[in-house]
Structure 1
Amino acid sequence: MNYSLILFDADGTLFDYDKAEAYALKNAFSSSNIPFREKFFPAYKIINSALWLDFEKGLISPDKIRVERFKQLFDNFNVETNITAFSDIYLHYFAEAGFLINGAENIVKKIAQQKNTAIVTNGLSVVQRSRFSKAPIMSLFEDVIISEEIGCAKPNTDFFEITFEKLGHKDKNSTIIIGDSLTSDIQGGINFGITTCWFNPKKSPNNSGLAPDFEIQKLEELLGILDL
């Protein structure tokens, strides 16, 4: 298949989300004069992931997530602090964390030379825009579609309808989405009727019941799928 439009998820696909979270969390604790314990990070990841899954289902807003994740974390560990202030500090540091996954820059450069590319992401607009501005690849994308800015999120088909409208693209058969999330990227692509590629660098089991068209462990494998 000759794919002409390549939709990239951001976090966990091109951007190193784990590294960004760890950077922001440790700096937020330090700035708040709260001793950081290593067990905070895995606990936070579980809480945050669950809340973003609720967001995909339309059960919670991004503004609510900003504070709720830290409320749950601090309740679990009996930490007393101003949660709203801590959240603001965390987002300040997270907005600085434009770390790319190894190999992402070179792969995007190669693909963008011959294909139209865009980023499609669920997230907070001001934070994502700031993070992305730190990365050396943003000029390679036609557009960046952020859920908070358009009022709907992956896997909702409205998200992809708006993406196509903004990009002036109509052909679903020539479109592929690459992402690490089965519930947002792959489910969203299936819902909308475009080709899906699951980026699974940790070789996680797929217990979702979803069947992506492709599965890759390294971004370099995309070049073969795209005949580049």
Structure 2
Amino acid sequence: MRYQNVIFDLDDTLLDFQAGENKGLQQVLTHYHFPDLHQAAAVYRKINLSKWERIEQGEAKEPLLVERFSDLFARYGMPDEGVQAEKRYRRCLNENYAVMTGALALLQQLKQAHVNLFAGTNGFDFTQRNRLNHTGFAPYFTDIFVSESVGYEKPSPHFFETILNQYPNMTTANTVMVGDRLQSDIRGAGAVHLDSIWLNQQHQTNTTPYHPTYEVADLAQIGSLVTAKNGDL
């Protein structure tokens, strides 16, 4: 078998983060009476992306995430209720149990093949574990590593080293990282010489210097990559 261990990203890889984000944003923007919900959501997403890019470069996460709604209120010249908006938004995310198409089937396939599965995700510990428990995915994982409790965010090499150091039988030769973000999942895996599978469901063009070992457009393609015999790929 090509890989004995798989580290899975969660958001937009196994769990449908976009569904929860859309629902949470609609609730927050409606509650605070933003004039154009569609436009406000687009502005928020640009702000949020810029915050996460800074987090992935090593800046402290919590202050940046608290700022994102404050920045949105400022863009619209509205009173700053960013802290309360952030709390409301996170409550929605905590209750987002939507999953990506094919996720359960993939976990079942790999588990039946006796592959060891690990979750390696950025985010808040309670949120991610709560979502895995409610979706029924938690029992498939040998262990769950969330950046908040690990102490490092992907793509920090220390995030991946924490996992590898805790499980000495995991090596760069028998382990692969699966994720949808080049800047965090693929970059981080490459930094510690792990093979990687980029889940590119949106058929994006890779303009970054980070190159996955494999690229797939669908979760259904991953099982055969992981379980193929050495030399078959």
**TM-score, length basis structure 2:** 0.91
Deviation at 1:95, TM superposition (A): 0.6
Contact 1:28 1:86 in 2 (8 A): yes
Secondary structure (helix, strand or coil) at the match of 2:206 reads coil
Unaligned 5+ runs, structure 2: 229-233
Q: 1:227 to 1:133 in 2, by over 3 A?
A: closer
> How far has the Cα of 1:79 moved from its partner?
2.8
Greater Cα shift, 121-130 or 146-155: 121-130
Q: Could you tell me how far apart the structure 1 residues matched to 2:47 and 2:192 are?
A: 29
Partner of 1:148: 148
SS of equivalent residue, structure 1 residue 68: helix
In 1, distance between residues paired with 2:221 and 2:16?
18
Letter in 2 for 1:101: M
Q: Deviations over 1:51-92 (max 9, x none)?
A: 111111112x22113311111122222232421111111111
SS at match of 2:227: coil
User: What residue number does 2:62 align with?
Assistant: 63
Corresponding residue for 2:77?
78
Q: Secondary structure at the match of 1:173?
A: coil
Distance 1:90 1:133 in 2: 20
Q: CA deviation at 1:161?
A: 1.1
Q: CA RMSD in A?
A: 1.7
Gaps of 5+ in 1: none
Number of residue pairs the alignment of both structures matches = 227
Equivalent residue, structure 1, for 2:43: 43
Moved more, 197-206 or 81-90: 81-90
Check conservation: 1:157, 1:191, Cα contact below 8 A. yes
2-structure distance, mates of 1:106, 1:218: 12
Amino acid at match of 2:49: S
Give the letter aligned to residue 142 of structure 1.
T
1:129 and 1:88 mapped to 2: Cα distance?
A: 18
The answer for the alignment partner of 2:199 in structure 1 is 199
| Cα pair 1:199 1:216 within 8 Å, conserved | yes
Q: Which residue identity does 1:5 align to in structure 2?
A: N
Percent identity, aligned pairs only, is: 26
1: CA distance, partners of 2:144 / 2:116:
12
TM-superposed CA distance for 1:28, in Å, is: 2.4
Deviation at 1:35, TM superposition (A): 5.6
